[in-house]
Amino acid sequence: MYDYLIQNARVLDGSGAPAFQADVALQGGAIAAVGHLEAASAAHVIDAAGRYLTPGFIDVHRHGDGAIFLPDFGRPELAQGLTTILNGNCGLSLAPVRGAYQEALLQYLAPIVGGLPEGLDVSSLGAYQRQLRAIPLRLNTGMLVGMGTLRACVTGFEDRDLTDEEYYRLHHLLENALADGAAGISLGLGYAPECFYDTDGLIRALAPLRRSGVTVAVHMRQEGDGVVEALREMLTVARALETPVQISHLKAIGKRNWRSAVPEMLALLEDARREGLDITCDVYPYPAGSTQLIHVLPPEFQAGGMEALTAALRDPERRAQMRRRMETAQDFENISLLVGFENIRPTSLQQPKNKRFEGMTVPEIAASQGKDPYDALFDLLASEHCAASMIDTITHEEDVDAIVRAPFAGIISDATYPMGGLMHRRVFGTCTRILETYVRKRGILTLPDAVRKLTRLPADRFGLQGKGRVEAGADADLCLFDLENIHETDTWLAPEQLAQGMDYVFVNGVPAIAEGRFTDARNGRVL
């Protein structure tokens, strides 16, 4: 007697193979049998009536480290079929945060990870995971450990080389985090403090990972004019470390890089893979990204953290320096020069007097106050103490399509969880957008391949055992749906809309969605 028997399904097993007709039996949180199970009996029988049954979707790139402690966390994720997520990306994990720079670091992380719940102990990854295990989770959750967070624990946001003793402490923190069960390591080389490494310093910082098999997910040093160089740097790092490397949210920012940098990078990745390097990438299926608003500023002004940056934004001389750099410089990710202020929209502003600016472009904000765009931006950031986010339209759809098609490219959301204000659509719609737009409407991917990119590919990349497959013995994380009913309802101006079309979503053998409705089951595990 099984717990569940799903009869007459079109099974996509996550491998990319075509669908096959089968019954699937679940028992004790695992898949017990796949095949023709007419004689089987079960406590619950579901007639799939030819609908697709796939592994639960996996998003290895979210930023819900703090938000996961909120009571509603997981609903937008489940509605699009996600059963497993990894947080702690882009070098910015919420744990371990400790030492003299703790306050500065938490202030820096808050707009990305959804704040810090009252009383949460984030002094080690082990402590963080223990508290996560103590709350009922809707879906399976794992953590990458951010190298930016580790460096900030050791030296704060200082722009200098580390001493031997500091490398020693950094390696100690890294080894502890791996022992505490990190699912991988993340880098945020475009952000302070990791942007202060040169390539040799970075390789030295990552030395404990050499030949470890631990996957390193990297937000590269540049994603605009310097993006191809930044990829070459990561090929050097991958060669030196001999451990799997995944380029996070591969893209080319800025009109002058569109349709040239991405084809070049995909060719570089193919060559490197042929050479035997274990390097892959992932992509979010939108032309706009989202991160902290401070990342439009030259990164050297972030040395010293948010307090120092806020002071600089209030100092006429330093403002003038910042502005001169932003008007011409190409040696950093100069987003306003690359895409124009008209493509940058500040979001999640905390000060009541600034609320009206949420979702407006920088020139619109400037015009509404009779200011110049630089002054409007600097004043806004200063009055928010730099704790604001943005949604920035940065990439070309053709480039996104090319990466989505690459066989070694996974699909991720890069979902950030700002505290209030306008969210990015990708929090609500990424997997649904892949199925509805990229498979059904535009035919960029076949359904088996899309399902592979949402399941088996990320599971194997990050060593998530038992995930990403429909086969006996695998974890019973499953989605059941009719492709025709999959529908993304979120929009840029009204992003907080749950995706439609999932009839059943099983998490460890228990339906979190049944007959299209949330069951309120909380059967997720900490990975």
Q: Which residues bind Zn ion (CB under 5 A)?
A: 90, 219
Among 192, 179, 86, CA closest to 124 = 179
Contact 390, 293 (CB under 8 A): yes
Contact 452, 15 (CB under 8 A): yes
Q: Is 213 exposed, middle or buried (0-12, 13-18, 19+ CB in 10 A)?
A: exposed
Quote the tokens at residue 485: 């009913």
When the beta carbons of 148 and 448 are compared against Zn ion, the nearer one is: 148
- C-alpha torsion angle, residues 190, 196, 201, 205 (rounded to 10): -70
- Coil, strand, or helix at residue 8? strand
When the beta carbons of 186 and 310 are compared against Zn ion, the nearer one is: 186
When the beta carbons of 69 and 191 are compared against Zn ion, the nearer one is: 191
When the beta carbons of 221 and 345 are compared against Zn ion, the nearer one is: 221
Q: Is 75 exposed, middle or buried (0-12, 13-18, 19+ CB in 10 A)?
A: middle
When the beta carbons of 148 and 524 are compared against Zn ion, the nearer one is: 148
Contact 373, 399 (CB under 8 A): no
Q: How far is the CB of 219 from Zn ion (least distance, A)?
A: 3
When the beta carbons of 219 and 433 are compared against Zn ion, the nearer one is: 219
Residue type, 221: R
Contact 82, 478 (CB under 8 A): no
Contact 428, 490 (CB under 8 A): yes
When the beta carbons of 157 and 378 are compared against Zn ion, the nearer one is: 157
H or E stretch at 490: none
Task: Please state, in angstroms and rounded to a whole number, the distance separating the CA atoms of residues 206 and 198.
Answer: 12
Q: How far is the CB of 191 from Zn ion (least distance, A)?
A: 8
H or E stretch at 232: helix 227-241
Q: How far is the CB of 80 from Zn ion (least distance, A)?
A: 20
Q: How far is the CB of 151 from Zn ion (least distance, A)?
A: 16
Q: How far is the CB of 251 from Zn ion (least distance, A)?
A: 10
Q: How far is the CB of 15 from Zn ion (least distance, A)?
A: 29
When the beta carbons of 90 and 381 are compared against Zn ion, the nearer one is: 90
Q: How far is the CB of 266 from Zn ion (least distance, A)?
A: 19
Residue 389 bridge partners (DSSP) = 292, 347
Q: How far is the CB of 281 from Zn ion (least distance, A)?
A: 12
When the beta carbons of 281 and 498 are compared against Zn ion, the nearer one is: 281
Q: How far is the CB of 147 from Zn ion (least distance, A)?
A: 13
When the beta carbons of 144 and 269 are compared against Zn ion, the nearer one is: 144
Q: How far is the CB of 123 from Zn ion (least distance, A)?
A: 24
Contact 522, 513 (CB under 8 A): no
Cα distances (angstroms) measured from residue 72 to each of 98, 137, 139, 290, 426? 28, 10, 12, 22, 17
When the beta carbons of 24 and 390 are compared against Zn ion, the nearer one is: 390
Strands 184-188 and 140-146: parallel
Q: How far is the CB of 249 from Zn ion (least distance, A)?
A: 6
Q: How far is the CB of 51 from Zn ion (least distance, A)?
A: 35
Contact 59, 457 (CB under 8 A): no
Q: Where are the alpha helices (DSSP H) in 32-118?
A: 75-79, 102-113
When the beta carbons of 90 and 376 are compared against Zn ion, the nearer one is: 90
Cα distances (angstroms) measured from residue 408 to each of 42, 262, 298, 411, 461? 39, 14, 33, 10, 10
Q: How far is the CB of 243 from Zn ion (least distance, A)?
A: 20
Distance of CA 72 to the CA centre of its chain: 19
When the beta carbons of 91 and 501 are compared against Zn ion, the nearer one is: 91
Strands 52-55 and 478-481: antiparallel
Task: Please state, in angstroms and rounded to a whole number, the distance separating the CA atoms of residues 197 and 203.
Answer: 9
Task: Please state, in angstroms and rounded to a whole number, the distance separating the CA atoms of residues 217 and 390.
Answer: 23
**Residue 65 dihedral angles phi and psi, to the nearest 5°:** -55, -40
Quote the tokens at residue 470: 């429909």
